[in-house]
């Protein structure tokens, strides 16, 4: 059955109460399968120069420097443990994207069902190698900003370590938001054709508007659909504009599951529902339709 990830990411604006409310809405109102966050060690990721520079879009900044902005949006590992417990209480899976080695170690220590490797980090083989050896759950890998040759290298990396059957590989275009002509949905089918059997499943991570493309991704072979989620698209921050609000996520979950049910062949020439209508409406040689 298709799984839907509500990518809360940093849309909580650094507030644990908002993060918990977002989990509640995603779980109870929208019926998403996974609530996902992000974890960064900003001193590890950023050079001193990058850390001290101003945010490139001051209107989205939560601090005087880019580093201070990123720190304002971070939760501690203890807060992530609290979020994981909150998810479990609500019956939704907790997950986090990890951007660096320190974050990978911290989140793996919480023993989540899955950890996400974002597109920006999918060539960090030291980090992924550590996860292969120290984390037993699924490893979900996005492929935005990644060449086809690099994707092959990533899959071979997991195959060589005996972990490829724990990998979910996501078609993704990195942009916020992404226009429809850049979505390239047939990449879902290409990944399925090339890697089906080599990895566990194929997913689709979208940063576009609306929900029609996600349903199309399902029909092309995506077993997982990930969308950014916010309570209010007008809130300050980079990702809100490319996120779904609660009603959008609710409709996405509903439509994906209904379409998945509908994606089948007839198991016999005439379905039971058709038999009754055939008796009333079908013209047959020597018979006269009534009704």
Residue 50 CA, distance from chain mean position? 28
Contacts of residue 96, Cβ cutoff 8 Å, sequence gap at least 6: 36, 37, 38, 39, 80, 103, 107, 112, 115, 116
**pLDDT digit of tens for each residue in the chain (291 aa)?**
999 999 999 999 999 999 999 999 999 999 999 999 999 999 999 999 999 999 988 888 898 999 999 999 999 999 999 999 999 999 999 999 999 999 999 999 999 999 999 999 999 999 999 999 999 999 999 999 999 999 999 999 999 999 999 999 999 999 888 999 999 999 999 999 999 999 999 999 999 999 999 999 999 999 999 999 999 988 888 888 889 999 999 999 999 999 999 999 999 999 999 999 998 898 888 766 555
Bridge partner residues of 225 (DSSP): 4, 204
Q: Tell me the three state secondary structure of residue 199.
A: strand
pLDDT digits (tens, 9 = 90+) for 93-112: 999 999 999 999 999 999 99
Domains defined for the chain, CATH in brackets: 3-266 (3.20.20.70)
* SS3 assignment, position 171: strand
DSSP letters, 230-258, are -S-TTSSSSSGGGSB-HHHHHHHHHHHHH
Please state, as a whole number, how many other Cβ atoms lie within 10 Å of the Cβ of residue 190. Answer: 17
- Residue positions counted in the chain: 291
């Amino acid at each position: 059955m298709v799984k839907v990830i509500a990518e809360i990411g940093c849309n909580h604006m650094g507030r644990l109460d908002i993060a918990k409310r977002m989990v509640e809405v995603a779980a109870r109102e929208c019926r998403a399968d996974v609530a996902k966050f992000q974890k960064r060690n900003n001193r590890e990721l950023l050079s001193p120069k990058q850390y001290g520079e101003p945010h490139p879009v001051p209107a989205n900044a939560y601090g005087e420097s880019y580093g201070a902005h990123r720190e304002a949006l971070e939760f501690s590992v203890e807060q992530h443990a609290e979020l994981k417990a909150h998810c479990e209480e609500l019956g939704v899976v907790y997950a986090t994207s990890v951007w660096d080695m320190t974050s990978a170690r911290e989140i793996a220590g919480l023993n989540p069902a899955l950890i996400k490797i974002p597109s920006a980090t999918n060539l960090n083989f030291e980090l992924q190698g550590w996860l292969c050896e120290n984390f037993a759950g699924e490893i979900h890998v996005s492929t935005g900003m990644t060449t086809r040759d690099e994707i092959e290298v990533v899959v071979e990396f997991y195959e060589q370590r005996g972990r490829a059957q724990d990998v979910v590989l996501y078609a993704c275009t990195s942009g916020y938001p992404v226009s429809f002509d850049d979505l390239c949905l047939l990449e879902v089918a290409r990944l399925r054709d090339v890697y089906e059997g080599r990895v566990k499943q194929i997913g689709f991570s979208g940063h576009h508007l609306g929900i029609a493309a996600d349903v199309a991704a399902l029909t092309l072979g995506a077993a997982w659909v990930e969308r950014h989620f916010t309570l209010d698209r007008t809130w300050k921050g980079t990702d809100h504009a490319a996120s779904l609000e609660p009603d959008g996520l609710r409709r996405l979950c509903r439509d994906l599951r209904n379409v998945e049910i509908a994606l089948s062949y007839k198991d016999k020439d005439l379905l039971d529902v058709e038999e009754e209508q055939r008796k009333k409406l079908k013209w047959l040689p020597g018979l006269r339709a009534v009704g």
